């Protein structure tokens, strides 16, 4: 793609997301400001501005932009909030969170994905993100509590450590359901130490797999 073609494709995607009303102005502006092609490997760059999920390394996927927009909108981000993200993947969603939140902590089980995401965020001069390799089931206790938590891999239930690490009144957005089935994208608020939630959409995410990856 030439830079002109890329600019047109980006603008078309932004217009289509605006028409679908998937998110408000601030979230869509953040999506527009992040070049999705940077987060895809050479073989998949042509998919960068299609409203589709795309393959990334380690057999994982970067979500469809409309879903990224809806999840980001559901988090109700403001510049003073601290966010925990489980499943850094390509770092695309991380970059968008970083544009709208105060600080982002992101956990990924594959070292390769974590290293690539860190490099890409450095290219974009994103400075308010910390990434570590680990099992997202455990959250990241050191920096808890978090005002917001986003999980970008599906689990049959929200891991207990994440509920504990969410601040009172905090918001958690996560796909809940079995691997390979349609899952429910949930938006939950913490009240009286537990989660009270509503379903936002039907989705299909890769699974939240226990333990850090042995290879890669
Ligand atoms: N938000 C990502 C999409 C990630 S796909 C993006 O914008 O690209 C889901 C990611 O969750 C994958 O990278 C996968 O390796 C990671 N993941 C799965 N189980 C995990 C776990 N237990 N802890 C941390 N990351 C996990």
Closest approach atom of ligand 1 to CA 113: 13
Structural domain for 28, as ranges: 3-203
**Closest Cα to atom 11 of ligand 1:** 87
Domain presence at residue 186: yes
Question: Considering its fold, how many domains does the chain have in total?
Answer: 1
| Structural contact between residues 199 and 174, judged by C-beta atoms closer than 8 angstroms | no
Domain presence at residue 28: yes
Domain presence at residue 216: no
Helix (H) or strand (E) holding 61: strand 61-62
Question: Quick one: pLDDT at residue 80?
Answer: 98
CA–centroid distance, 32 to ligand 1, in Å, is 23
Q: Output the domain CATH number for residue 13.
A: 3.40.50.150
**Closest Cα to atom 2 of ligand 1:** 89
Q: Which DSSP symbol is given to 64?
A: P
Q: Residues 4-30: pLDDT tens digits?
A: 888 889 889 989 999 999 999 999 999
Question: Quick one: pLDDT at residue 211?
Answer: 79
Domain presence at residue 22: yes
Q: What is the DSSP string of 76-131?
A: T--TT-EEEEE--TTSHHHHHHHHHSSEEEEEES-HHHHHHHHHHHHHTT--SEEE
Domain presence at residue 175: yes
Residue 150: Cβ within 10 Å count: 24
The pTM (predicted TM-score) of the whole model is 0.97
Q: Residues 132-187: pLDDT tens digits?
A: 999 999 999 999 999 999 999 999 999 999 999 999 999 999 999 999 899 999 99
Report d(CA 39, CA 29) in Å as an integer.
18
Question: Quick one: pLDDT at residue 167?
Answer: 98
Domain presence at residue 146: yes
Domain presence at residue 213: no
């Amino acid at each position: 793609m030439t830079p002109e073609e890329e600019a047109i494709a980006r603008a078309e995607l932004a217009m289509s997301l605006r028409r679908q009303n998937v998110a408000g102005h601030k979230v869509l502006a953040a999506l527009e400001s992040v070049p999705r092609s940077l987060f895809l490997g050479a073989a998949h760059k042509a998919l960068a501005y299609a409203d589709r999920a795309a393959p990334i390394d380690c057999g994982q996927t970067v979500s469809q932009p409309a879903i990224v927009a809806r999840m980001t909108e559901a988090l109700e981000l403001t510049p003073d909030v601290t966010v925990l993200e489980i499943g850094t993947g390509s770092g695309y969603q991380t970059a968008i969170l970083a544009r709208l939140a105060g600080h982002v902590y992101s956990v990924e089980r594959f070292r390769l994905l974590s290293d690539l995401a860190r490099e890409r965020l450095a290219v974009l001069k994103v400075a308010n993100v910390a990434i570590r390799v680990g099992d997202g089931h455990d959250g990241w206790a050191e920096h808890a509590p978090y005002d917001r938590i986003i999980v970008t891999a599906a689990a049959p239930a929200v891991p207990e450590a994440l509920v504990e690490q969410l601040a009172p009144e905090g918001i958690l957005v996560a796909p809940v359901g079995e691997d390979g089935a349609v899952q429910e994208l949930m938006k939950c608020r913490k009240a009286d130490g537990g989660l009270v939630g509503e379903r936002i959409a039907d989705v299909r995410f890769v699974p939240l797999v226990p333990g850090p990856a042995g290879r890669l």
